[in-house]
Structure 1
Amino acid sequence: MSHENKTIRNTAPGHPRRPLADRIALVAGATRGAGRAQAVELGRAGATVYVTGRTTRTRVSEVGRTTETIEESAELVTAAGGTGIAVPTDHLDGERVRALADRIDREQGRLDVLVNDLWGGEHLLVGSVFGKKSWETPLADGLRILELGVRSHVITAALLLPLLIRSDAPLYVEVTDGTAHSNRRYRENMYYDLAKTAPIRLAFGLGQELAEYGGTAVAVSPGFLRSEQMLAHFGVSEENWRDAIAQEPAFAVAESPQYLARGVAALAADPGRAARWNGKSACSAELARAYGVRDVDGSRPDAWAYFEAAAHGGEEVSPEDYR
C-alpha cells in the first residue's frame, strides 16, 4: 500500500543539542507533572510543542489546583529552547479535540510526536478507590476514572493519529502507571487497574497499526513520581523532598518528572526507536539505562525494581540501593 500524501522531510541529524529542531509535538495533559516535564524536554531538544490541559489562568479543572496552568507549561517549553503553544482542551470533548487537530493541521500540516499523558484522577483515589473492592467503590467515581484514564486516550488517538501518520517517523507515546511486567499484578482496585493497564494495550495495538507507516507506539511509566500533587500530599517541596521519607520510606526511590521526560525526549530523537520499542512498554529506569540519562540529582532510581524486591519479593532491601 502506498501513502503518497505522507510528508517526507530531511531526516539528517541536526545539532546534537537540538535533535528535534524540525519536529512538531503534542503533549496531551501537559499542565503539570510528567506531562509538563515531557513537553519541556521535547522543547529543550528543539521541538515545537503544543501543550493541552484543562487548567488555565482563568479556569480550574476538577483536579482543583490553581498553581499550574497550560500557559505556564507553554512558557517553560519556550524558555527551554523550543516553541510552546498552549491550547486549552478537554480531551473528553470530541469536538474540542477535533478542533485541536484542525489547528495543528492548519498551522503545521503534520504531527511527529504525540504524547498521551491524560489523567487528572488522583483526587478520586484516596478514600474512594484504594483499599476498596470494586463493588464498594462509588460507581460514579469508578466510571470517571475510566473516562479520565481510558476514554480520553481513545478519543485523542482516534482524532490525532490521521495527522501523526503524515510524519516520516510517527511516534505515539502512552503514559501510564506501570509496565506490562509490573501490571501483571492487580493494581488494588478494578477501576484503577483497568485505567492503568489499558494504555499499555493501546500502545501494543497501535504499534501494529503504525508499523506500516514506519511509526512507533510505546507505553511509558514513571516510578514513584515526585509530581506537584505528590509533593503537596507529603507537605514538602522539590528542594526538601527527602524530608518525606520519614513518613514514607519508599519515597527514597522517588524521582522527579524530568527523569521520565529525559528518557522520552531521547527516545523521540532515536532513529532506531521503531525496532527497539514499538508495541512495548518501559519504565523511566529502563529508558534511562537505554539512553544514558539521569535524574536531576544525577541518580538513576528504579522504583519498580525496588517494589518488586521489597513489596512482592519479601526481601530486606534499602531504597537507597535502587537509586
Structure 2
Amino acid sequence: MGALVGKVALVTGASRGVGKGIALGLGEQGATVYVTGRTETGGATPTPLPGTVQETAAEVSALGGRGVAIGCDHRDDEQTRAAVRRVVEEAGRLDVLVNNVWGGYEYFWDGTPFWTEAGFWTQPIERWDSAFQAGVRAHYLTSVAAVPTMVSQGSGLIVTVSSEGAEKVDTGVAYGAAKAASDHMIACMANELRDHGVTAVSLYPGLVRTESVLRAAEYIDLTHSESPLFVGRAVAALAADPAVERHTGQVVRTSALAEEYGFTE
C-alpha cells in the first residue's frame, strides 16, 4: 500500500513537465491528486507541447492513485479559487498543495527568436508580468485559498517549485526576481504557519527533462538531468514524512532529498 493512501493533493500546472511528474509521483504512493492546467482534451491548446490535464489524471489513476482533472487558468483569480474550492468540497480535506504553475516562458513557443531577447531591456514587459502573475501571484492566491483548510486540519504541506535561478544573476532578470520573490514568500508563509501544523518549502529541482527541454536537447547537456517523475518522488517523500516540519521555511533540493529519503529515478 502506498504511503499516501487517503491523502489529497492539488498540483497546479500539471498538464505536462514538472507538474505532471509531481502528480505521478504522488499517484505512485496512492494519493488522490487533483491536477490543474489550461490544456484540456478537446480544448484549445495554449502551447504546441503535448499533454493535457485529463491525460495526467488518467496516468495518476493508472499508477494506483486517483487522478482528477480541473481545467484552470491560474491567471484568473476566480478560476483559482474555484479549483481549490472544488477540491475541498469533493474531498473534504487538502493535505498537499504543490504550486508549480508558472509564466514568462512564452518565447519558447510564440515564435520569438530567443536571441532577440538577450537582455532584459529587449524583452516585452509582458515577460515580467507573466512571471509574477501566472507564477508568484498564482502561488500566493492558491495558498491563500488552500491554507484555511490545512489550518483547520492542523496539518498540511505546501511545496512551491522554484529554482536555483533565485540565487543566480545569469538566469534573466524577470525569472530570477520572480523566483527569489517566490522563495521569500514561502519563508514568510512558513513563519506564520509554524504554529498551525502546516509546513511550507521551496523546492529546487535540477535540470529536468521536460517536453520543452527535450525539444532543445541538441543544445543542452543532459548528462546530470532529472526526470519529471524524480521531482515527483521528492515531493511524495516530503508528503509522507511525519517529521517534515523540520524543513519548513527552507529551500530543499531534489538531489539532497534523494540522499535523505533514498528514492531514485
Q: TM-score, normalised by structure 1?
A: 0.76
Q: Is the aligned partner of 1:127 residue 2:114?
A: yes
Structure 2 counterpart of 1:251: 222
Identity %: 36
Q: Distance in 1 between matches of 2:99 and 2:70?
A: 15
Deviations 1:137-188 (A, max 9, x none): 211232222222212212211222222323342100000122xxx6332143
> What is the CA distance between 1:128 and its match in structure 2?
7.1
Q: Quick one: which amino acid aligns to residue 82 of structure 2?
A: A
Q: Is the aligned partner of 1:287 residue 2:253?
A: no
Change (3 A) 1:273 1:293: same
Structure 2 counterpart of 1:227: 210
Deviations 1:65-114 (A, max 9, x none): 2x200000000110010110001011121111222222122212221100
Q: CA RMSD in A?
A: 1.9
| Secondary structure, aligned partner of 1:174 | strand
After the TM superposition, list the runs of 4 or more consecutive aligned residues in structure 1 that deviate by more than 3 angstroms.
none
Q: Distance in 1 between matches of 2:116 and 2:37?
A: 24
Q: Distance in 2 between matches of 1:256 and 1:98?
A: 30
Change (3 A) 1:212 1:139: same
| Secondary structure, aligned partner of 1:135 | helix
> What is the CA distance between 1:26 and its match in structure 2?
0.4
Change (3 A) 1:105 1:286: same
Q: Is the aligned partner of 1:269 residue 2:240?
A: yes
Q: Which has the larger radius of gyration?
A: 1
Deviations 1:214-255 (A, max 9, x none): 111001021111001111222xxxxxxxxx4xx43x321111
Deviations 1:184-220 (A, max 9, x none): 3214322111122222112211111221111110010
Q: Quick one: which amino acid aligns to residue 32 of structure 2?
A: T
Superposition pairs of residues 1-323 of structure 1, within 5 angstroms: 17-65=1-49, 67-124=50-107, 127=114, 131-132=118-119, 134-178=120-164, 183-234=166-217, 244=218, 247-248=219-220, 250-275=221-246, 277-295=247-265
Change (3 A) 1:144 1:129: farther
Q: Distance in 2 between matches of 1:188 and 1:280?
A: 21
Gaps of 5+ in 1: 1-16, 235-243, 296-323
Deviations 1:104-137 (A, max 9, x none): 22212221100000115323367278631x3332
Change (3 A) 1:129 1:116: farther
Between 1 and 2, higher relative CO (CA 8 Å, sep ≥ 6) is seen in 2
Q: Quick one: which amino acid aligns to residue 49 of structure 1?
A: V
CA contact under 8 A between 1:116 and 1:175: conserved in structure 2? yes
Gaps of 5+ in 2: none
CA contact under 8 A between 2:104 and 2:131: conserved in structure 1? yes
